[in-house]
A and B are shown apart, each in its own frame.
Chain A
Amino acid sequence: MPDRVLLTVDGMTVDVPAGAMVSAAVAMAGVSAYRRSVSGEPRGPLCGMGICFECRVTIDGRAHCRSCQVVCQPGMEVRTDG
Chain B
Amino acid sequence: MADREFDVVVVGAGPAGLAAARRAAECGRRVAMLDDNPQAGGQIWRGASKEASGWMRPGVEWMAGARVFDAPAPQTLAVETFDGECRVGYGSLILATGARERFLPFPGWTLPNVMGAGGLQALAKSGMPIAGKRVIVAGSGPLLLAVARYLRAHGADVRLIAEQASLSALLRFGMRLIRHPGKLLQTVSLRARRYITSCWPVSAQGHEKLEGVTLRRASGRTWTEACDYLACGFGLIPNVELAALLGCRMSKTGVEVDEHQQTLVPGVYAAGEATGIGGLELSLAEGEIAGYAAGGRHDRAEELFGARASHRRFAAALDQAFALRAELRDLPRPDTFVCRCEDVTMDRLRACSNWREAKPHTRCGMGPCQGRICGGAAEFLFDWQTESVRPPVFPARVRSLL
Cβ of B119 within 8 Å of any chain A Cβ, yes or no, is yes
Interface size class of A (residues with CB under 8 A): 35 or more
B340 touches A27 (CB 8 A): no
A47 touches B208 (CB 8 A): no
Contact of B343 among A20, A39, A47 (CB under 8 A): A39
CB contacts under 8 Å to A, within B39-78, are 43, 47-48, 65
Cβ of B155 within 8 Å of any chain A Cβ, yes or no, is no
Q: Mark B123-144, 1 if CB is under 8 A from A, else 0.
A: 1001111000000000000000
Total B residues in contact with A, Cβ cutoff 8 Å: 42
Cβ of A12 within 8 Å of any chain B Cβ, yes or no, is no
Q: Which residues of B contact A17 (CB under 8 A)?
A: 127
Main secondary structure of the interface of A (DSSP, over half): loop
A28 touches B110 (CB 8 A): no
A42 touches B115 (CB 8 A): no
Tally inter-chain residue pairs, CB-CB below 8 A. Answer: 120
Cβ of B103 within 8 Å of any chain A Cβ, yes or no, is yes
Contact of B126 among A34, A47, A48, A52 (CB under 8 A): A48
Smallest CB separation, A14 vs chain B (Å): 11
Smallest CB separation, A52 vs chain B (Å): 5
Q: Which residues of B contact A20 (CB under 8 A)?
A: 126-128
Q: Which residues of A contact B110 (CB under 8 A)?
A: 37, 41, 43
A21 touches B340 (CB 8 A): no
Contact of A24 among B82, B101, B123, B239 (CB under 8 A): B123
A68 touches B343 (CB 8 A): no
Contact of A42 among B123, B208, B337 (CB under 8 A): B208
Most B-side CB within 10 Å, residue of A34, A38, A70: A38
A69 touches B48 (CB 8 A): no
